């Protein structure tokens, strides 16, 4: 358990100690090593020169603190320097602890090992407020991570839609609806239906609407990519890349998590989330390369790669958001391209915006929440090759040789936005790292709703 309290003199207090002439000679002067003086209920973690401790170094320290084999009271005030505020220190320790030790979906039959307690002490009012914010946000992130982690033979599109409806039906001032296959057909969502053709399970679209300001016509719509498992279809993924494709629904879990926080925070804005759900599988009815599908918008798309399916279901979701929900700003979150992993690894989430104002806004919010974005370009050159189909308006993949696969995917989606302000996040590198779900962007998207 992690909590914040006043100091209990009977328990060990852990303080930061930095290099100085007056340092106790018995202190072990090796970074992130703890020296204990149990007769005084004191312990010190050595951190080198105080002016050099920054957020990146402190993340390592925080990870050590939350994995200690003894209960500690952590004196937050002793870690503060010009680069690290009390809020940052509280946030990093709290998030690290809950992400490490909180409940996340697991079917192991062995018992989970016990972990030690951390108590944050000497907090100001601001520090206590930050603790509560970080605790609540990170518990939601663990809910998101559980959804991401669930295996595709258990969490299919139908079961997921039921789970989401049950989750959000408990909230006031929130409307929830699930669009089934017949309704999706009536909406003429040919791109989503095309991707779904090979699946054992029908597609679903889950829509959740929070009406924080009913008098306003402004509405931000968050869209999450919900491919429950991505085999690549007939453009079959190789073995090394097909593993972990249960995470291809991460965008939906993330926007759902953000919505839970938004509902709890009660901002005076209108926010909706749209989550299209389907597998991308191989079968006798599965979509083939050279097929042509008609989108809800009316645009036709020639399929030249069945593994470029995420952009297809998102395109129909974007049109639905504009024409049915009357979105005035669209944000989508998707594990969209392997190319973004090559470009940015797990260090940054690739971000495209149609205006610099929106980029400045989301980047500032992400920095506030301790998340890292990198702005990527919209440029017509990336989609020129996608407009050269002889029988449709667009190809779904750019094979022109120009490169920039992540930007061409973003450009494809922009073709469906009808000039509505648009923000696109490609989380293929950040949604899961080394087979561990992250719940990336949940807190940033929740905070963004407060700033719109």
Catalytic residue, chosen from 311, 329, 369, 414, is 311
Q: What is the pLDDT of residues 338-363, one digit of tens each?
A: 999 999 999 999 999 999 999 999 99
Domain locations along the chain: 2-122, 144-451
Catalytic residue, chosen from 83, 139, 165, 237, is 237
Domain spanning 2-122 has what CATH number? Answer: 3.40.220.10
Q: Per residue in 16-44, is it b (16+ CB within 10 Å) or e — as a string?
A: bbbeeeeeeeebeeeeeebbeeeeeeebb
Task: Verify whether residue 70 is a known catalytic residue.
Answer: no
Q: Residue 349 contacts by C-beta under 8 Å, 6 or more apart in sequence?
A: 371, 372, 373, 374, 425, 426, 427, 429, 430, 440, 441
- Structure tokens of 287? 């979509």
* CA distances from residue 401 to 254, 341, 383, 397 in whole angstroms, order as listed: 33, 19, 11, 11
Task: Verify whether residue 111 is a known catalytic residue.
Answer: no
Q: What is the pLDDT of residues 7-57, one digit of tens each?
A: 998 899 999 999 986 888 899 999 999 999 999 999 999 999 999 999 999
pLDDT of 144: 98
Confidence of residue 402 (pLDDT cuts 50, 70, 90): confident
Mean pLDDT across the chain: 96
Backbone angles phi, psi at 437, to 5 degrees: -70, 150
pTM of the model: 0.96
List alpha helices for 197-346, DSSP H: 239-242, 250-265, 310-323, 338-344
pLDDT of 21: 67
CATH class of 144-451: alpha beta
Cβ atoms 223, 331 nearer than 8 A: yes
């Amino acid at each position: 358990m992690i909590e914040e309290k006043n100091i209990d003199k009977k328990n060990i207090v852990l303080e930061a100690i930095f290099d100085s002439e007056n340092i106790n000679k018995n202190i072990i002067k090796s970074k992130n090593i703890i020296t204990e003086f149990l007769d005084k209920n004191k312990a010190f973690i050595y951190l080198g020169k105080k002016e050099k401790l920054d957020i990146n170094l402190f993340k390592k320290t925080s990870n050590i603190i939350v994995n200690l084999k003894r209960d500690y009271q952590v004196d937050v005030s002793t870690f503060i320097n010009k680069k690290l505020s009390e809020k940052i220190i509280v946030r990093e320790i709290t998030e690290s602890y809950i992400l490490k030790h909180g409940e996340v979906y697991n079917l192991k039959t062995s018992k989970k090992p016990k972990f030690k307690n951390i108590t944050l002490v000497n907090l100001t009012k601001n520090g206590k407020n930050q603790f509560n914010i970080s605790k609540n946000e990170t518990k939601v992130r663990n809910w998101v991570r559980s959804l991401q982690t669930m295996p595709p033979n258990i969490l299919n599109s139908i079961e997921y839609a039921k789970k989401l409806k049950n989750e959000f039906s408990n909230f006031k001032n929130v409307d929830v609806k699930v669009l089934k296959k017949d309704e999706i057909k009536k909406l003429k969502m040919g791109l989503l239906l095309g991707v779904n053709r090979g699946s054992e399970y029908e597609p679903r679209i889950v829509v959740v609407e929070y009406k924080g300001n009913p008098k306003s016509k402004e509405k931000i719509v968050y869209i999450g990519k919900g491919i429950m498992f991505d085999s690549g279809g007939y453009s079959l993924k190789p073995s090394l890349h097909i593993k972990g494709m249960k995470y291809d629904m991460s965008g939906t879990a993330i926007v759902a998590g953000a919505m839970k926080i938004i509902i709890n925070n009660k901002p005076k804005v209108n926010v909706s989330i749209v989550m299209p759900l389907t597998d991308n599988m191989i079968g006798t009815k599965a979509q083939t390369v050279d097929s042509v599908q008609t989108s809800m918008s009316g645009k036709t798309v020639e399929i030249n790669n069945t593994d470029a399916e995420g952009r297809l279901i998102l395109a129909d979701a974007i049109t639905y958001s504009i024409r049915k929900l009357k979105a005035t700003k669209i944000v989508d979150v998707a594990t969209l391209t392997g190319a973004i992993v090559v470009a940015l690894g797990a260090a940054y989430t690739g971000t495209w915006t149609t205006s610099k104002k929106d980029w400045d806004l989301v980047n500032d919010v992400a920095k506030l929440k301790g998340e890292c974005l990198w702005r990527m370009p919209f440029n017509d050159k990336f989609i020129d090759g996608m407009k050269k189909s002889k029988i449709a308006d667009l190809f779904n993949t750019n094979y022109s040789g120009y490169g920039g696969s992540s930007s061409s995917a973003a450009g494809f989606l922009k073709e469906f936005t009808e000039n509505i302000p648009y923000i696109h996040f490609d989380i293929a590198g950040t949604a899961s790292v080394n087979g561990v779900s992250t719940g990336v962007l949940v807190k940033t998207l929740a905070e963004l709703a407060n700033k719109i």
